[in-house]
A and B are shown apart, each in its own frame.
Chain A
């Protein structure tokens, strides 16, 4: 084991308070550690520094030395080294910690600087906050309130620029609202590696635009909306849908791949309006893919399953579960589990499989990874199935072996935990030969062919955990309630176990975690409640040798055994 390099700490003084910060820390971050807010627009912790908004101006001083002798100049009154203050204000975002650096963030000069920059940003701003989607989460609005002079001295005509321009399939630009911070340009160039945005025209008429013949259409385009400090770039999907201050935020996890980008689900009165990334410096920084943001639409999709059915007839959930248990108890059952299920569901599926002696298959979803935040493994939780011992080997995309067993009449019942068996390679003839129990969220060829259908909950309607490609256990919470009468996957599995003659397991995430911590060595000491919002990486030496399909992503390097 190599020891992490000892971090060089440098002590700086901000507003009279000293703090030791790692080398390379800029003064916005150092001040933040002290709880001091230095307002800014263009600075973003995950992008290069451009220093153009001039909002983060501070007074800066360094320890004074005699020019000739280089000896420190001491202050006789305090006995400390004098500070030579730079006459001009400096930008905090590009002022990095140096030994003895002194910074003042709250002086008459700095207050005047902030007031000045705020006024300048507002003179050509359309001030259309009442109809602007950014209102309520707009840095210009917040900082104008905090640092602005409160009245306008501008009596001239404002500049006119293009409005509601579709610069890509998902992003709309209002150039008049833009403060030209260049965050979106830097994001596309530095993170999305798609250098498609740039400035055209000059001075006050400068405008963001796409390169001729191109569109902002990469799968990370909506991050520009997130980092836009004003309402210049808005999400075409979210535009004019809801005032942000009415929305409830729920921490969630992006399910589109094994990266497990941390997200926030924004909802009001049971309806989800948007999904945005949540900062996790070890997983997704502050980004997420566009493709993960529209997944909430599955909640209200037309093919959503909301009622239990037996042989096509609507039935009470309890009856459907009893019918399903009868089929499983009859023997020759197979469980097709899912890498989309939560760790808790996989744990109960494992119990069920042991109880009814049903072998377990899992369906792999492999596609091209983008080396950023969508990995090749499009299941969010294959590692969970390994950790809970639901499976021992990595899954395959097609259920070829299961098909052969059906053909050989070794299988009578299949319990599918949300997987479409037809998509996984079983033919209509094979599906017709067996009795199918389908526990899932949406209708498909499998649910159509199923003897028993039990509706389930989407990731937005339940609590749970996933284990991502780094073997990081990450939790998410229900943002909105599920359809009326649907008790959920955990409850259904627990009832199935009971109906099949087992001991009734708990059906809450908390209680299952007590069992997980006791029974799964890798999860010992963890609980759902105390799991940090940024997740926890567990010991995964046991699975290190498996040939996981993922290539490199933002914070993941594949482990290759020699």
Chain B
């Protein structure tokens, strides 16, 4: 049963007893009715609904979806592609897989509405290689929808045709970056492209205008068109409308996936009320709010936040509302909604070593700062954990991260820089004195690496 603080829209049928991912079940629950209505409306109207809804992309950056659609070059005469980013590879994030596994037709309906609104004739679902089961579910669901004429030629007798293809990745984090993803679909190494000039809206897949949207975003589109943009905008808080899927992992009583109204509950409510608080005898130490590349929050730090009326309020970490803008105001990001919780048993040096081992492994190697910097940070933190830690390692780590941040082709530079900068800054004593701390660590303390 969903927690009372949740509001389940996208996850309405997730884990519902008797609900199956097949088309019949979806149709019994009112499936594709929204699409049937949508294809009778003017495409521009649908775009307008999404703009009014204030929907912001759920992949991590929070860019307004309606604005993204309106940036698409419609004058070039080239085909417009939709790419569904189902590469969900940010550590700590596990929301899209449940949408795909348990309610695939919700996604397909959202895709078809989006395609119709943007005159897209071909859509690609780029699904990560680690989701083979999800890919099979999607392929089956597309075939079912095609058989019922929701996908394919002359959809619902409108004369509008659109195909959806499932494209499986081969296991690279960088394919979640939209231009790397595009290169991967084109059959190349997924080296992210340089922006400008290669903005997908203008020069995307096969150098054609392309919309890249996250799975969750497109599921929201289905509900926006069903509810109407204005009604949807009233869910959540202004500028952070709608619900958000949150994946909580780490050291809490009830980790799992939840759906909340954006900004309506705080991080404290999420962790204490929904997730049941820390494990017995433990206290929270640090929270990563939006996927492992987000800057970490130290439990106990406070933020002075300027309100719109000019007054200032002080927030503790627990006071931060769960929305894009509030996390941004606290110097981190809501990102992909992957909340990772660490308690007092966790060594931050080990945690950083763990996170950076991932980013060093996943750096595509295209540009120098990320390629060499992440690997260097990995080597330093691994040495600190397994060998000898030096007091000068802390400032060195910070400086290496500073040399990466903002100087790379794609945002993956920040993915290794932001954790390093924030862990070292907020837990500096632990990094400086790690050699001492190691000797006093109790036996049986969880080793993360």
Contacts from A to B (Cβ < 8 Å): 49, 51-55, 57, 87-89, 91, 94, 112-113, 116-117, 119-121, 123-124, 153-154, 156-157, 159, 179-180, 198-199, 201-206
Note all chain A residues with C-beta closer than 8 A to B371.
120, 180, 203-204, 206
- Given A89-B406, A89-B407, A156-B380; A54-B364 close (CB under 8 Å): no
B34 at the interface (CB under 8 A from A): no
**In the complex, are the beta carbons of A116 and B376 less than 8 A apart?**
no
- Given A94-B194, A120-B373; A153-B396 close (CB under 8 Å): yes
B438 at the interface (CB under 8 A from A): no
B368 at the interface (CB under 8 A from A): yes
> What per-residue 1/0 map shows which CB atoms of B345-378 lie under 8 Å from chain A?
0000000000000001111111111011111100
371-410 of chain B: CB within 8 A of chain A? 371-376, 379-380, 383, 396, 402-404, 406-409
**In the complex, are the beta carbons of A51 and B360 less than 8 A apart?**
no
**In the complex, are the beta carbons of A117 and B365 less than 8 A apart?**
no
**Main SS of the interface on chain A?**
loop
B68 at the interface (CB under 8 A from A): no
Note all chain A residues with C-beta closer than 8 A to B365.
180, 199, 201-206
Note all chain B residues with C-beta closer than 8 A to A87.
406
Note all chain B residues with C-beta closer than 8 A to A198.
189
Can you name the residue of chain A whose Cβ is closest to the Cβ of B403?
A116
B172 at the interface (CB under 8 A from A): yes
**In the complex, are the beta carbons of A203 and B409 less than 8 A apart?**
no
Q: How far is the CA of A116 from the CA of B401 in the complex (A)?
A: 10
- Given A121-B372, A123-B376, A124-B375; A203-B407 close (CB under 8 Å): no
Note all chain A residues with C-beta closer than 8 A to B375.
123-124, 159, 203-204
Note all chain B residues with C-beta closer than 8 A to A180.
365-366, 368, 371
- Given A54-B408, A203-B375; A91-B194 close (CB under 8 Å): yes
Q: How far is the CA of A317 from the CA of B410 in the complex (A)?
A: 71
**In the complex, are the beta carbons of B172 and A202 less than 8 A apart?**
yes
Note all chain B residues with C-beta closer than 8 A to A120.
368-369, 371-373, 376, 403
Sampled A-B contacts (19; CB under 8 Å): A53-B368, A88-B407, A112-B403, A116-B403, A116-B404, A117-B369, A117-B407, A120-B373, A123-B375, A123-B376, A124-B375, A156-B376, A157-B379, A201-B365, A202-B363, A202-B364, A203-B365, A204-B360, A204-B371
Q: How far is the CA of A121 from the CA of B365 in the complex (A)?
A: 12
Note all chain B residues with C-beta closer than 8 A to A201.
365
**In the complex, are the beta carbons of B368 and A204 less than 8 A apart?**
no
Q: How far is the CA of A113 from the CA of B404 in the complex (A)?
A: 9
Note all chain A residues with C-beta closer than 8 A to B383.
156
**In the complex, are the beta carbons of A121 and B409 less than 8 A apart?**
no
- Given A52-B368, A54-B369; A119-B360 close (CB under 8 Å): no
Q: How far is the CA of A371 from the CA of B4 in the complex (A)?
A: 74
Q: How far is the CA of A113 from the CA of B373 in the complex (A)?
A: 13
Note all chain A residues with C-beta closer than 8 A to B403.
112-113, 116-117, 119-120
| B101: min CB distance to chain A, Å | 28
Note all chain B residues with C-beta closer than 8 A to A124.
372, 375
11 extra interface residue pairs, beta carbon distance < 8 Å, beyond A54-B369, A116-B404? A51-B409, A53-B368, A54-B367, A88-B407, A113-B403, A116-B402, A116-B403, A124-B375, A156-B379, A203-B363, A204-B363
> What per-residue 1/0 map shows which CB atoms of B175-216 lie under 8 Å from chain A?
000000000000001010010000000000000000000000
- Given A89-B407, A153-B396, A157-B379; A52-B367 close (CB under 8 Å): yes
Q: How far is the CA of A543 from the CA of B361 in the complex (A)?
A: 64
Q: How far is the CA of A157 from the CA of B378 in the complex (A)?
A: 11
Q: Which 9 pairs across A and B sit closest by C-beta, in order of nearness?
A: A116-B403, A120-B372, A206-B365, A156-B379, A204-B375, A203-B363, A88-B406, A203-B365, A52-B367
| A110: min CB distance to chain B, Å | 11
Q: How far is the CA of A88 from the CA of B414 in the complex (A)?
A: 13
| A546: min CB distance to chain B, Å | 44
Note all chain B residues with C-beta closer than 8 A to A116.
369, 402-404, 407
**In the complex, are the beta carbons of A52 and B396 less than 8 A apart?**
no
Q: Please, how many residues of chain B have a CB less than 8 angstroms from a CB on the other chain? A: 31
Q: How far is the CA of A268 from the CA of B186 in the complex (A)?
A: 50
Note all chain A residues with C-beta closer than 8 A to B172.
202
Contacts from B to A (Cβ < 8 Å): 172, 189, 191, 194, 360-369, 371-376, 379-380, 383, 396, 402-404, 406-409
Q: How far is the CA of A203 from the CA of B373 in the complex (A)?
A: 10
| B293: min CB distance to chain A, Å | 16
Note all chain A residues with C-beta closer than 8 A to B360.
203-204
Q: How far is the CA of A201 from the CA of B365 in the complex (A)?
A: 9
**In the complex, are the beta carbons of B407 and A123 less than 8 A apart?**
no
Note all chain A residues with C-beta closer than 8 A to B363.
202-204
| B91: min CB distance to chain A, Å | 16
- Given A52-B409, A54-B408, A116-B403; A154-B376 close (CB under 8 Å): yes
Note all chain B residues with C-beta closer than 8 A to A204.
360, 363, 365, 371-372, 374-375
Q: How far is the CA of A535 from the CA of B137 in the complex (A)?
A: 67
- Given A117-B369, A180-B371; A199-B406 close (CB under 8 Å): no
Q: How far is the CA of A203 from the CA of B368 in the complex (A)?
A: 9
Q: How far is the CA of A206 from the CA of B406 in the complex (A)?
A: 22
Note all chain B residues with C-beta closer than 8 A to A55.
368
Q: How far is the CA of A121 from the CA of B361 in the complex (A)?
A: 18
Note all chain A residues with C-beta closer than 8 A to B189.
198-199
Q: Which of B362, B379, B402, B407 has the most CB of A within 10 A?
A: B407
Q: How far is the CA of A191 from the CA of B71 in the complex (A)?
A: 35
| A376: min CB distance to chain B, Å | 36
Can you name the residue of chain A whose Cβ is closest to the Cβ of B393?
A155
Note all chain A residues with C-beta closer than 8 A to B404.
116
| A561: min CB distance to chain B, Å | 40
For B407, give its contact among A94, A113, A154, A179 (CB under 8 Å). Answer: A113
Can you name the residue of chain B whose Cβ is closest to the Cβ of A115?
B403
Q: How far is the CA of A374 from the CA of B362 in the complex (A)?
A: 44
Note all chain A residues with C-beta closer than 8 A to B409.
51-52, 54
| B368: min CB distance to chain A, Å | 5
**In the complex, are the beta carbons of A203 and B376 less than 8 A apart?**
no
Can you name the residue of chain B whose Cβ is closest to the Cβ of A118?
B368
Note all chain A residues with C-beta closer than 8 A to B376.
120, 123, 154, 156
Can you name the residue of chain B whose Cβ is closest to the Cβ of A206?
B365
Q: How far is the CA of A339 from the CA of B365 in the complex (A)?
A: 51
Q: How far is the CA of A551 from the CA of B189 in the complex (A)?
A: 36
Q: How far is the CA of A357 from the CA of B364 in the complex (A)?
A: 73
Q: How far is the CA of A54 from the CA of B194 in the complex (A)?
A: 12
Q: How far is the CA of A367 from the CA of B318 in the complex (A)?
A: 80
**In the complex, are the beta carbons of A179 and B374 less than 8 A apart?**
no
| A122: min CB distance to chain B, Å | 9
**In the complex, are the beta carbons of A117 and B368 less than 8 A apart?**
yes
For B372, give its contact among A123, A199, A202 (CB under 8 Å). Answer: A123
**In the complex, are the beta carbons of B368 and A121 less than 8 A apart?**
yes
Q: How far is the CA of A119 from the CA of B369 in the complex (A)?
A: 9
Note all chain B residues with C-beta closer than 8 A to A49.
194
Q: Which of A57, A94, A120, A121 has the most CB of B within 10 A?
A: A120
Q: How far is the CA of A53 from the CA of B408 in the complex (A)?
A: 9
Note all chain A residues with C-beta closer than 8 A to B362.
202-203
**In the complex, are the beta carbons of B361 and A179 less than 8 A apart?**
no
Q: Which of A49, A123, A179, A198 has the most CB of B within 10 A?
A: A123
Q: How far is the CA of A279 from the CA of B121 in the complex (A)?
A: 48
| A209: min CB distance to chain B, Å | 12
Note all chain B residues with C-beta closer than 8 A to A159.
375
| B205: min CB distance to chain A, Å | 19
Note all chain B residues with C-beta closer than 8 A to A121.
368, 372
Can you name the residue of chain B whose Cβ is closest to the Cβ of A181?
B368
Can you name the residue of chain A whose Cβ is closest to the Cβ of B193?
A51
**In the complex, are the beta carbons of A54 and B407 less than 8 A apart?**
yes
Can you name the residue of chain A whose Cβ is closest to the Cβ of B359?
A203
Can you name the residue of chain B whose Cβ is closest to the Cβ of A119?
B403
- Given A54-B407, A120-B376; A203-B361 close (CB under 8 Å): yes
| A114: min CB distance to chain B, Å | 10
Note all chain A residues with C-beta closer than 8 A to B373.
120
| A125: min CB distance to chain B, Å | 10
